[in-house]
Structures are given as structure tokens and as C-alpha cells.
Amino acid sequence: MGDAVLSYEYYPETLHLVLAKDVKNMPEIKSLLLNNKLDCALIKPCLVPNVFVVLQAAYKASQAKIK
């Protein structure tokens, strides 16, 4: 498991990235996420070529929330 705390000068909040391996309670986590009990996003790591892509998506989401 790995984690990182990222900050970006144009993104107003702190972004926490966690890479989990061999998760045993995925059905429970998915249920919590779908019921808006978790304030996060689950992303398949194989679909992310670089951490910057996640940071850019977070920035765009924050800008959309402001508008």
C-alpha cells in the first residue's frame, strides 16, 4: 500500500492518494461510496498513467463546483 499527499498551487484543497492492494472488503466500500457515505473516488490504478492526471481531474472538478 502506498499513499501520497499532493498540493497544487491552483487547487485549493489537499488531495490524498492511497494505493491499496488485495482489498478484502470491496463490496462494503463500494456500497458506502454509492450511498454517499464516503467523500472520495475509487480509481483503477492501471487506468492512470501519471499522478498528474488525477491532480488535473481534481482541479477541473473543483472548478466545476465553483461555477
Q: What is the pTM of this model?
A: 0.58
Top pLDDT among 62 and 43 is at 43
DSSP letter (8 states) at residue 45: G
Q: Where are the alpha helices (DSSP H) in the chain?
A: 26-34, 51-66
pLDDT of residue 29: 92
**How distant, in Å, are the alpha carbons of 4, 24, 39, 44, 54 from that of 32?**
23, 15, 10, 17, 22
DSSP letter (8 states) at residue 42: -
State the DSSP string of 17-31: EEE--S-S-HHHHHH
12-51 pLDDT tens trace = 667 778 888 888 999 999 999 999 998 888 888 888 888 8
Top pLDDT among 38 and 62 is at 38
pLDDT of residue 63: 78
Residues contacting residue 28 through CB under 8 Å, at least 6 positions apart = none
